[in-house]
């Protein structure tokens, strides 16, 4: 198999087949805060973010009704060495409590500075200006220098370079699927 080069990008998203859904613990303001993460900007006042897991098994990417990118500490440790000067992630501390009451450290990956990542001439946009699902193409010049980023308004997706995808596979992170873009 040919080794992918730096210009190959991968989509990382929760795996529906092994989805483990974390249920929100409705701490005061927590749910409203998480829903607001779809808007840009660095967050300063962060409420306690906590989810309940209805089982004793956790995955590295947990689905949740608020669509927060709820990632394990292990997932964060895999991503961080690849983050360059152009990659902006605000790691918001969170906690996931298993059915047995065991608290697990998690992180909500918030991207405070949305990128214009689309190749305008090869992307089909809807009337609202949002690209149609599956009908968008990355602009190599717009994503140059970025190793981990998200499409604007996509809450269940990370886009990574080939070395990042290879590290995720090597770490055998769970609860996600990796596809080539």
Q: Two tokens at 59?
A: 């995955």
* 55 vs 7 pLDDT, higher one: 55
Q: What is the pLDDT of residue 73?
A: 97
Tens-digit pLDDT profile for residues 58-77 = 899 998 878 889 999 999 99
- Provide the residue ranges of all domains of the chain, joining segments of one domain with +: 9-180
Tens-digit pLDDT profile for residues 19-53 = 678 887 655 566 678 878 888 899 998 888 999 99
pLDDT averaged over every residue in the chain: 87
Alpha carbons 94 and 145: distance in angstroms, whole number: 29
Alpha carbons 111 and 87: distance in angstroms, whole number: 9
Task: Say what the pTM is.
Answer: 0.88
Contact, 144 vs 150, CB < 8 A? Answer: no
Q: pLDDT class for 6, splitting at 50, 70, 90?
A: low
Q: Two tokens at 158?
A: 């990370």
Q: What is the pLDDT of residue 1?
A: 37
Alpha carbons 20 and 137: distance in angstroms, whole number: 30
Alpha carbons 102 and 127: distance in angstroms, whole number: 47
DSSP class per residue in 116-175: --B-TTT--B-TTSPBPTT---B-HHHHTT-SEE--TT-SS-EEEEHHHHHHHHHHT--S
Q: Is the pLDDT of residue 2 over 90?
A: no
Tens-digit pLDDT profile for residues 72-105 = 999 999 999 999 988 999 999 999 999 999 999 9
Phi-psi region of 67 (alpha: psi -120 to 50; beta: other; left: phi over 0): left
Alpha carbons 87 and 96: distance in angstroms, whole number: 26
Alpha carbons 52 and 116: distance in angstroms, whole number: 35
């Amino acid at each position: 198999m040919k080794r992918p080069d730096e210009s190959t990008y991968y989509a990382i998203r929760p795996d529906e087949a092994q989805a483990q859904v974390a249920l929100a613990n409705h701490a005061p303001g927590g749910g409203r805060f998480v829903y607001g993460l779809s808007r840009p900007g660095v967050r300063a006042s962060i409420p306690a973010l906590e989810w309940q897991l209805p089982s004793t098994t956790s995955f590295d990417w947990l689905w949740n009704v608020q669509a927060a990118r709820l990632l394990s500490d292990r997932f964060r440790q895999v991503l961080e060495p690849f983050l360059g000067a152009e990659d902006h992630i605000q790691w918001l501390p969170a906690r996931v409590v298993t059915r047995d009451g065991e608290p697990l450290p998690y992180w909500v990956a918030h991207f405070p500075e949305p990128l214009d990542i689309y190749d305008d001439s090869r992307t089909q946009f809807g009337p609202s200006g949002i690209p149609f699902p599956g009908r968008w193409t990355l602009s190599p010049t717009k994503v140059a220098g970025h190793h981990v980023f998200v499409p604007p308004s996509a809450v269940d997706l990370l886009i990574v370079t080939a070395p990042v995808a290879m590290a995720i596979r090597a770490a055998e992170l769970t609860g996600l699927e990796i596809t080539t873009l």
